[in-house]
Structure 1
Amino acid sequence: MTRHKTSHIFTKIALKPLNTNLFNIVLLSIFLTIGSCKIYSQDIKNKTTAIPAKNQKVRTGSIPENTSKSTAKKETDTIKKDSVKIKVFLDGKVKYKSEDYARIDQKKKLITLYNKAELYYQDIELKSGIIVLDYEKNEVYAGRIKDSTGTYTQYPNFKQGANVIEPDSIRFNFKTKKALIWNSRTDQGEFKVKASISKKENDSVYFLKGARFTTSKDIDNPEYYFQTSKVKFIPGKKVVTGLTNMVIANVPTPIALPFAFFPMSKETSVSGILLPTYNDSNTRGFSLQNGGYYFALSDHYDLTVLGDYYTNGSYALRFESSYGKRYSYRGNINVRFENLINSERGYPDYSKQNIYNIQWSHAKDSKGSPNSSFSASVNLGSSKYYKQSINQANVGSNLNNTLSSSVSYSKTFNGTVGSRLAVSATHSQNTQTSEINLTLPDLQYSVDRLYPFVGKDGVKKGFFKNINLQYNLSGKNSFVTTDSLFFKPEMFNNAKVGVQQSIPISTNFKLFKYFSVSTAMNYEEVWYLKTIRRGYDTDQSKVIDKTVNGFDAFRTYNFSSSLGTTIYGTFNFGKNKKIKSIRHVMRPSVSYSYTPSFEKYYDTYATDASGTITKDYTRFEGGIFSSPGKTNSNILGFDLSNTFEAKVTDKDSTKVEAKKIMLLNNLNFSTSYDINANGITSLAWAPVRVSGGTQLFNNKMNINFATTLDPYAIDNSGTRINVYNINNGGSLFRMTSSNVTLNYSISSKDMEAKKKDKNQQSQRNGGRDDDLFGRNTIDTARGKSQFDEEEDSGEDKITEFFASILPWDMTFAYSLTYGNNNRENKITGNSIMISANADLTPKWKAGVSTGYDFVQNGVTYTQLRFERDLLSWRMDFNWQPFGTQSNWSFFIGIKSGVLSDIKYDKRSASKR
């Protein structure tokens, strides 16, 4: 339709006023009115039948990258895929889809996706209830939608790389990579971050307004959080904030900082400062404990440096390092040093001393090198370390009297004749006497067994074909010293060096089908670099030993044989009886050993100045591999082991087979007879040793017992005499000692698997691996729970808790020792120990370790412990009320390792 200018029309009317025509004027006015407007035409869509909801298809489509033509394709309800070519300048292809519809507005340059909408572009994934793409501005908008009840659902999920944000709504620009986010929620390591408004500056920097940070599982209703108004957030690295205030239970606290820094590294560990805790002591003044720095040196090893300082000058340093390489090795090293000062300089009770402790644990993975191994378990240092340390609360170590270490390397050489080499160093230290026994090195080399008479078929059967021999070599360098002389020149002056070689030859065979016979001969040769010369010194008026340096050797041999069999006996009580049968297995054996006298290695020395009285001695006396014997040994040994097993009717009536139960795991008798005994200086029969053990109550109770029965009587001085006890007015045997131990573990559930190795540090320090001596509390300051924690303590767990019995577990131990070696006839040991743990409520745990010594009439080491699960926080209290080590400790802090320094840790001053 043609458009006319209104000015032309009005001119024509003015020139012809007299020729008016009403009809023409009205008609002309209509046309002029229509002609003054812009008129558009459009195609009317054909009506179609609506597709039911259940048959609707998911709308998908894509926008090609860098296109210039502007075309549009008609959309109908039956379209499966849209391809819209529009003028955009994106660097990649945009893919999208939705469940309800994908509407394209060509006029506004918008694509609207509704219901379960998804959009993908480069490393960006966006999922939401509704997504609007503005392809002219290169922006996308996403938000939630309401369901039929009016509740908001399908919150946006924005993922770029590894970072995920879940806001209420988001606006994002594809070109600048900037975004504006409302009520964003994101996880960064152990942190959960929520902000009212977030501005994404680029791929690595966010600015937040009205943000909160927490480690709570529920970001919308946390138990605590840090509230701040302005934040610079670098995902995976750090958060820098302005004024930050701590809020607990939605109540602001006075705890505030003008600025704050939160590390958010995604690495397994990051370096950082370990804040100290404040404490006070009656003897050393105020202190700062457990402060230091953690160095995350690499993926394979780290280093923790900790220190304590007291105002009286005492201080402590600790270096802890863990290392490991997958399929190769793993281990850790702890070095502790303390400078202890008591009282003040000038006072009579002033003292100063240095104590230290070194621990090293190493294990090699057999997968890395199957033919060699290396392991280490070291615990050495000052004997009084655990009793005097100012920052050590390991109960098991305080009660232990021995420290031990072992470092070993072994290698197997494969070949026609295989061999094995092992080199080790061992250490044993008595913390009461301060005596140290150190072997460095201990060399062991052995060649595999050789069967010289075996046939080509390789069958080893019979006396001759079973004859085999070996070669063993052992070399040792041993030291006996004390704490004060450890690794000083005096220690090496008293070293004992020796080499022992042996060639054992043995065979075994069957005799009369039912008897097993084994026979062995052993040849030994011992080399020493030091021997002694003993004699009477007239200047000192006493017998002295002089050390003789130089190579010397002695050679010995011995013979042994044993004969044994197995006897089975079954006692049937009938099929209808509750106890159907009892099976008794006996394994009797008789052994014989012979060692000749090696008098040629013995000399004599005078015991006084006159030289009339002499005694025999050997120059090899005191050697590391002992010395040759002078007495001809001819010993017969007798052993009998028994096991008792029963078959009983199973309580489960559906089971056809009888149930097997063990009555006695073992019941052993052993003694020996000396054929060469003359009845005056030596007695023929050795005491009878009886030992046994069993398990009861579904293997929860272990019972072990042992006793020693002596057939000979004693005189008034307590010396054994060649008179049988029954001929001296007594019984057949005289019980000289006896002991019985019971261990019983019960629980509301089967917790045996959980209880294993739960006190590893205590065991490593030399204590027990259970709770009977209490639990290690030194780790409390580092946020480690003393109780077995379980995850997901939610409503389901609480409901289950109250629907069942109170969860608990208990370990019980009892020991009784009887002594009558010199007719004292008394109980030398009688004690009971108990450790129990219980869940008082779903969030409260309590435990106790205690005992009573009936001989000393006193309570043994006692520990009370309580713990409260505060969701993101943890609180515990430990108390040792009795003894010289009595103390208490209280701890409350955040569980998360990132905020482990936010805590309150208070310990009482130890009495030691």
Structure 2
Amino acid sequence: MAFQKSSHTFTKIHLKALHTNNFKILFTLSFTVFINTLSFSQDTPNKGIAIDRAVKDTTIVVTDSLVKTTISEKTQDTILKDSIKPKKDLLEHTVKYHAVDYTKFNQKEHKLYLYNEATIDYGDMKIEAGNITIDYNKNTVYARGIKDTLGGYTQKPVFTQGANVVEPDSIIFNTKSKKALIYNSKTEQGDGTVIASLTKKENDSVYFLKNAKYTTAEDLEDPEYYIRLLKAKIVPGKKIVTGAAGLYIYDIPTPVWLPFGFFPQSDKQTSGIIIPSYGENSDRGFFLQNGGYYFAINDHVDLTTLGDYYTNGSYGLRLESAYKTRYKFSGNIAFSYESLINSERGFSDYSKSTVYNLRWSHSQDSKANPNSRFSASVNLGSSNYYQTSTNQVNFSNRLNNTLSSSISYSKTFQGTLQPNISLTATHSQNTNTEEINMTLPTFQGSLGRFYPFESKTGAKKGIIQNINLQYGVNAQNSITTYDSIFFKKEMFDAAKVGMQHSIPLSTNFKLFKYFSVSASSSFNEVWMLKTIKETYDAEEEEFVSETVNGFDAFRTYNFSTSLGTTLYGMFNFEKEGKDRKLQAIRHVVRPSISYNINPAFDKYYESAEVVNADGLTQSELDAIYSDIDLKYTRFQESIYGTPGKTFSSSIGISVSNNLEAKVRDRDSTATESKKIVLLNSLNFSTSYNVAGDSLQWSPVSVSGGTQLFNNKLSLNFGATLDPYALDNNNSRINTFNINNGGSLFRLTSGNLTASWSLSSKKKGAEKDDKNIEQNLQGGGRADDMFGVSEDFAKRQINEKKEEGIDKNNEQSEYYRHSIPWSLRLAYAVNYSNSTRQNEISSHSLMFSGDINLTDKWTIGASSGFDFKNIGFTSTQLRFQRDLKSWSMNFSWVPFGTYSSWNFFIGINSSMLKDLKYEKQKQADISL
């Protein structure tokens, strides 16, 4: 290095070029210091001085302080900043590496070797492998596993970049271009895994594959199926585009090949086509069912459009939408319409009809608004929709006899009396008679309970301080119509409108310490906008009603009181020196007696005018038509009932019983006895009409129920006992049955219901069946007694595998000595003898069950037997095979009106759900 004299105008420093080999040595040493300074290794690195990007010359030049250096304006550089951009660092990110056995850097080859549980962190890239080599000359990272002495290959590389994880046999990665070659990789893409012999990583968002497999199987070493991809391009999180693709099952090729393939990949909901299923109906021809399009509108609502088409011209359309806003509300709505054609045009049995159904379910989150609530549960449409629908999703609801709906809104206002209002619209439809009852709407308002004589301390004791009153109002627009005129003008002509105001007044107190006494009185006022006027046509001998428009009202009141107590009885069976299983029985009796008074409001009754009376007076007409009751009230069309015509004063008597037992617990370690319920309830009730002149005793009503066998068997029973006898015309007479040569009571009706749920699993181990949800949405039973929905394509993704194998006692997946099973029984019998018919009006047994023959095979059945009509009820047999990544289902209705079968096999993956086969034979239903 040379120095210039100080007398020169400028001080310049010249660097003498070093020899080439020396420069390489210096560069290597500098790079090694840099790597060891910013990296982690097994050895503790020495603390060194950080190397700056630009190295300043530390040589001190001595100048004469008395000589002032002048700067020539001609040689002054006017460019303050260097226009040449500095070169990038050799590595853009800090490299962190680690290995268990050794970390070695070869200065001659410029390679870093990591062995045994080696890791490299570089930016968003991480590589884990048994053996990693970094080549600084070529800017590459080579990672591979370790071969042991037995020939095994362990610690395979795991390459992670961002959210993408690749598990290959080996990988070569270029840190500069970010490209990579990946051998025998396994990459998760959506619900499946891509297994490729060679993968070329072009950049962070594009991968090219050669000779790859795509599968959703869990066992990647031996997948039960895969789609072979000769060539493919992957855009992670977006799509997989392939060349020729074929289906392989256990490495056996199938004839199912496609010239190209497109597999969308997205973490969000996306719109797409829904592939239909096909089949044949002997009455309507070939068909396509449940095909359409799914619209992912946004994160809160979606829309599914589905359609059916039959070659004879029948078709069906369905719209389904689900919506949800977190912490506010959620729900779903579905509308179905079917145009059904039977036979062919020109034949005698040709017919055409349309059916529809609307379902809506809405629920509000309890956190949304504690003072107001809106809910909806709607199921209305054609009365014969479920019976005639050709879609298999409606199978389990074909025996429904009632469709019902309710939409309600309620709000509570804060204050002393807490006023409450609610609006409700209801609908009830009998699918057999096609009669429809609706309220559009019902308004209810009320004020909170008010204690006018409450003490200042807030304590309410005694008959006076407990006096309270309320106010309530109820307004209805009631409509009774039929399916044929539903939502037509004629439907609203028969609407009944009314309003009822009620003010109940009540109090309660203790009597003689052990008796509870309550007394209440109620005042009611009913408003109507329509009344009637009746006339009696003497020639036709019938009453004729005429509607009178205009406001009118009637008022009623009543009084009631009751006295009750509770008695406890204990029967102790314990004795000293004996450890009996039955230790005690406790009997709880709750008797009560009540008294009710309902005055006669005969002022609201009048005699019907007789047409063609020939000038006779009313008294003369009453005498002539004494055998005909001409009395009527103009309020008899009221939706709140009519005012009482006769005075009523009755005494009610009721007794309820409960039996519990205390037994020795089977568990020897238990310190206390076990309580079991012998009889949940046994109730008796009757009444005596003090003001009546005959038949003063009402029939005795008996009801009860219990649960046995650890609450697996539920029993409920009821009966009606009449103390009066019948005459020869089977009419009740004012003579006790015992005085007429009979028994004390006459059994007029009785019923018994029993339900029994058995399972080989422990209590609480039963899983909820997703198929029951479809039953409930259609208004059906909350079990599978009538069968389950046959929409296997929709269920294949939702169904989860059951954890059926005990890890401590693993069994073969094809055979097990312990076979899980479940059985549900429902028994019902009704007896009628009100007019000496002495018959069993109905008698049936329904059952359903499932058996897991193996961990993969499940069979089930739903059926019943009608003992009165001697025949089986609707029967369904079900077979299900778990094929790991696939599901196979077969449903069969062997006989009856809805005789049919349905076979399905498909993949349990949301992305490959359309890779399925479904074949079915539908029932031949005549409209």
TM-score by length of 1: 0.89
Match of 1:221 in 2: 222
**CA spacing shift, 1:442–1:606, aligned 2, 3 Å:** same
Letter in 1 for 2:825: F
Q: Deviations along 1:756-815, whole A, 9 cap, x unmatched?
A: 5651211231221112222222x2132438987415979878528867621111111211
1:631 pairs with 636, 639, 646, which one? 646
SS of the equivalent of 1:225 reads strand
Letter in 2 for 1:79: D
SS of the equivalent of 2:776 reads helix
The question of whether the paired residues in 2 share the 8 Å contact of 1:536 and 1:609 is answered with no
The question of whether the paired residues in 2 share the 8 Å contact of 1:783 and 1:893 is answered with no
Match of 2:267 in 1: 266
Q: Deviations along 1:658-683, whole A, 9 cap, x unmatched?
A: 2211110100000011111111xxx1
For 2:414 and 2:452, the matched residues in 1 are separated by 19
Runs (4 or more) in structure 1 with deviation over 4 Å come to 66-78, 82-88, 537-542, 755-758, 785-788, 791-798, 800-804
Match of 1:30 in 2: none
Matches within 5 A, 1:512-551: 512-536=512-536, 542-551=542-551
- Is 1:79 aligned to residue 92 of structure 2? no
Mark the runs of 5 or more structure 2 residues left unpaired by the alignment: 1-19, 54-87
The question of whether the paired residues in 2 share the 8 Å contact of 1:783 and 1:894 is answered with no
SS of the equivalent of 1:774 reads coil
For 1:120 and 1:755, the matched residues in 2 are separated by 45
Q: Deviations along 1:832-853, whole A, 9 cap, x unmatched?
A: 1221211111211011112211
2:784 pairs with 771, 796, 805, which one? 771
Matches within 5 A, 1:395-434: 395-434=395-434
Is 137-146 or 494-503 further displaced after alignment?
A: 137-146
Match of 2:12 in 1: none
**CA spacing shift, 1:82–1:775, aligned 2, 3 Å:** farther
SS of the equivalent of 1:297 reads coil
Matches within 5 A, 1:779-858: 779-784=791-796, 789-790=801-802, 799=811, 805-858=818-871
SS of the equivalent of 1:394 reads helix
Is 403-412 or 537-546 further displaced after alignment?
A: 537-546
Matches within 5 A, 1:648-727: 648-679=663-694, 683-727=695-739
SS of the equivalent of 1:137 reads coil
For 1:92 and 1:461, the matched residues in 2 are separated by 81
The question of whether the paired residues in 2 share the 8 Å contact of 1:775 and 1:786 is answered with no
Cα distance, 1:827 vs. partner? 1.8
For 1:605 and 1:115, the matched residues in 2 are separated by 107
Cα distance, 1:107 vs. partner? 2.3
Match of 1:345 in 2: 345
**CA spacing shift, 1:804–1:76, aligned 2, 3 Å:** closer
The question of whether the paired residues in 1 share the 8 Å contact of 2:899 and 2:922 is answered with no
SS of the equivalent of 1:867 reads strand
SS of the equivalent of 1:550 reads strand
Cα distance, 1:633 vs. partner? 1.4
For 2:249 and 2:395, the matched residues in 1 are separated by 35
For 1:380 and 1:627, the matched residues in 2 are separated by 31
**CA spacing shift, 1:649–1:187, aligned 2, 3 Å:** same
The question of whether the paired residues in 1 share the 8 Å contact of 2:355 and 2:384 is answered with yes
Match of 1:230 in 2: 231
- Is 1:172 aligned to residue 184 of structure 2? no
Matches within 5 A, 1:241-256: 241-256=242-257
Match of 2:15 in 1: none
- Is 1:89 aligned to residue 104 of structure 2? no
For 1:500 and 1:832, the matched residues in 2 are separated by 44
Match of 1:497 in 2: 497
**CA spacing shift, 1:794–1:98, aligned 2, 3 Å:** farther
- Is 1:860 aligned to residue 876 of structure 2? no
The question of whether the paired residues in 1 share the 8 Å contact of 2:41 and 2:103 is answered with no
The question of whether the paired residues in 1 share the 8 Å contact of 2:796 and 2:887 is answered with no
- Is 1:112 aligned to residue 116 of structure 2? no
Cα distance, 1:70 vs. partner? 7.2
Cα distance, 1:382 vs. partner? 0.2
**CA spacing shift, 1:713–1:272, aligned 2, 3 Å:** same
For 2:734 and 2:701, the matched residues in 1 are separated by 19
**CA spacing shift, 1:794–1:825, aligned 2, 3 Å:** closer
Letter in 2 for 1:275: I
Matches within 5 A, 1:754-765: 754=766, 756=768, 758=770, 759-765=772-778
Query: What percent identity do the matched residue pairs reach?
Result: 54
- Is 1:100 aligned to residue 87 of structure 2? no
Letter in 2 for 1:654: T
**CA spacing shift, 1:665–1:106, aligned 2, 3 Å:** same
Cα distance, 1:542 vs. partner? 4.6
**CA spacing shift, 1:756–1:246, aligned 2, 3 Å:** closer
Cα distance, 1:248 vs. partner? 0.7
RMSD of aligned Cα (Å): 2.7
Match of 1:733 in 2: 745
Match of 1:188 in 2: 189
Match of 2:131 in 1: 130
**CA spacing shift, 1:737–1:136, aligned 2, 3 Å:** same
**CA spacing shift, 1:103–1:714, aligned 2, 3 Å:** same
For 1:357 and 1:632, the matched residues in 2 are separated by 48
Cα distance, 1:420 vs. partner? 1.4
- Is 1:203 aligned to residue 204 of structure 2? yes
Letter in 1 for 2:773: Q
Matches within 5 A, 1:329-340: 329-340=329-340
Is 137-146 or 77-86 further displaced after alignment?
A: 77-86
Q: Deviations along 1:170-203, whole A, 9 cap, x unmatched?
A: 1112222211111110111101101111111111
The question of whether the paired residues in 2 share the 8 Å contact of 1:542 and 1:608 is answered with no
SS of the equivalent of 1:464 reads helix
The question of whether the paired residues in 2 share the 8 Å contact of 1:396 and 1:763 is answered with no
For 2:35 and 2:320, the matched residues in 1 are separated by 69
1:646 pairs with 626, 644, 661, which one? 661
Letter in 1 for 2:868: V
Cα distance, 1:652 vs. partner? 2.3
The question of whether the paired residues in 1 share the 8 Å contact of 2:130 and 2:146 is answered with yes
For 2:590 and 2:486, the matched residues in 1 are separated by 49
Match of 2:558 in 1: 558
Letter in 2 for 1:435: E
**CA spacing shift, 1:766–1:354, aligned 2, 3 Å:** same
SS of the equivalent of 2:165 reads strand
The question of whether the paired residues in 1 share the 8 Å contact of 2:530 and 2:548 is answered with yes
Cα distance, 1:257 vs. partner? 0.5
Cα distance, 1:734 vs. partner? 0.3
SS of the equivalent of 1:841 reads coil
Mark the runs of 5 or more structure 1 residues left unpaired by the alignment: 1-37, 44-62
For 1:357 and 1:198, the matched residues in 2 are separated by 52
SS of the equivalent of 2:608 reads strand
For 2:39 and 2:902, the matched residues in 1 are separated by 74
Letter in 1 for 2:710: N
**CA spacing shift, 1:189–1:83, aligned 2, 3 Å:** farther
SS of the equivalent of 1:799 reads coil
SS of the equivalent of 1:338 reads strand
For 1:39 and 1:392, the matched residues in 2 are separated by 83
- Is 1:599 aligned to residue 563 of structure 2? no
Match of 1:53 in 2: none
SS of the equivalent of 2:850 reads strand
Match of 2:887 in 1: 874
For 1:581 and 1:796, the matched residues in 2 are separated by 41
For 1:72 and 1:525, the matched residues in 2 are separated by 95
Match of 1:33 in 2: none
**CA spacing shift, 1:554–1:95, aligned 2, 3 Å:** same
Cα distance, 1:117 vs. partner? 1.0
For 2:779 and 2:582, the matched residues in 1 are separated by 45
Is 802-811 or 275-284 further displaced after alignment?
A: 802-811
Q: Deviations along 1:303-359, whole A, 9 cap, x unmatched?
A: 111100011110000111111122211111111000111122222222111100011
**CA spacing shift, 1:148–1:796, aligned 2, 3 Å:** farther
Question: Aligned residue pairs: how many?
Answer: 849
For 1:793 and 1:160, the matched residues in 2 are separated by 37
**CA spacing shift, 1:531–1:217, aligned 2, 3 Å:** same
For 1:697 and 1:76, the matched residues in 2 are separated by 67
